[in-house]
Amino acid sequence: MKSHAAPPQGASPVGADAGATPLRADSLRAIIFDMDGLMLDTERLATPAWQDAKDAIGVDFDMSLLDAMIGRNYQDCRALIVERHGEAFPTDRLMEAWHVAYDAIVERDGVAIKHGLLPLLDWLEEMRVPKAVATSTRRARAMTKLANAGLATRFDAIVGGDEISRGKPAPDIFLLAAARLAAAPSSCVVLEDSAPGVRAAIAAGMTPIMVPDLLAAPPDIVGSATLVLPSLEHVHAHLRALPRMG
């Protein structure tokens, strides 16, 4: 197993003059993980699944929508498709075909766990830091994904995108996860790969750390006090190196 090197130059927060309070190990009371693209290497499976789905039902689906759908829940993705293609478009059939195609790809190729996740979870358990998952994926599908990856029992709470009325970038899913952990939002660190997820964490009054997956951090996040790190291995090193009070 690789050793956990310190974050490289350029991995420190940018825009620190925005007024963000530096995180200390003593204030790390809970940590909330996104799932797809952050813990599981699943986002790159979505594009071929959409291609297979549109071919299966014979529709002309605008694949340029996919970037905007990253990090969004089922209802928001559906709304994006309807907005682009109109009410007469077979949106529900397409999304159902996507799930079939996606599951077939997973069955054939499997899903990889992101590098650095397991040592990070081990360390958080050693430190007795409560952990939750807050994913835009519907709860039943999220539970299946986590169980298949051997991760379902590693978390104290799991919140799916169908358990809240407003998806990311609204703060609802993170606030519910914090409530299930009995943690104050201000004491929660959120790990996210998507811009909607980072914005949701900020709106919830939490401290986000972004680990970009398919898309780079956008300018508004790069220009904020949000810490952007290249991997979960770097997150682990950063959290371990936090200063302690006293």
Question: What pLDDT is attached to residue 223?
Answer: 80
pLDDT tens figures, 131-142: 999 999 999 999
Question: What pLDDT is attached to residue 21?
Answer: 43
Is 60 marked active-site?
Answer: no
Residue 34, Cβ neighbours under 10 Å: how many? 31
- C-alpha to C-alpha distance for 153 and 143, rounded to whole angstroms: 10
CA distances 12 to 22, 87, 124, 229, Å, are 11, 45, 21, 8
Determine which of 14-18, 133-137, 147-151, 158-162 has the lowest per-residue pLDDT on average: 14-18
- C-alpha to C-alpha distance for 159 and 137, rounded to whole angstroms: 9
Q: If DSSP codes are grouped into helix, strand and coil, which group holds residue 16?
A: helix
- Regarding the domain with residue range 16-41+113-240, which homologous superfamily does it belong to in the CATH classification? HAD superfamily/HAD-like (3.40.50.1000)
Q: Which of 37, 233, 34, 30 lies closest to 119 in space, CA to CA?
A: 233
Q: Give the tokens for residue 208.
A: 């986000």
pLDDT over 90 (residue 19): no
The band of 27, judged by pLDDT with boundaries at 50, 70 and 90, is: low
Which listed residue (17, 34, 60, 193) is catalytic? 34
What does the chain come to in residues? 246
pLDDT over 70 (residue 18): no
The band of 38, judged by pLDDT with boundaries at 50, 70 and 90, is: very high
CATH topology of domain 43-109: DNA polymerase; domain 1 (1.10.150)
CA distances 179 to 41, 94, 186, 197, Å, are 27, 35, 12, 18
Q: If DSSP codes are grouped into helix, strand and coil, which group holds residue 61?
A: coil
Element (H, E) at 141: helix 139-148
**What are the sequence ranges of the domains in the chain?**
16-41+113-240, 43-109
Residue 238 or 18, more confident: 238
90 secondary structure, DSSP code: -
Instruction: Judge whether 235 and 191 are in contact, CB under 8 Å.
Output: yes
pLDDT over 80 (residue 111): yes
- C-alpha to C-alpha distance for 55 and 101, rounded to whole angstroms: 10
Cis peptide bond N-terminal to 169, omega within 30: yes
Q: Which of 146, 134, 76, 145 lies closest to 105 in space, CA to CA?
A: 145
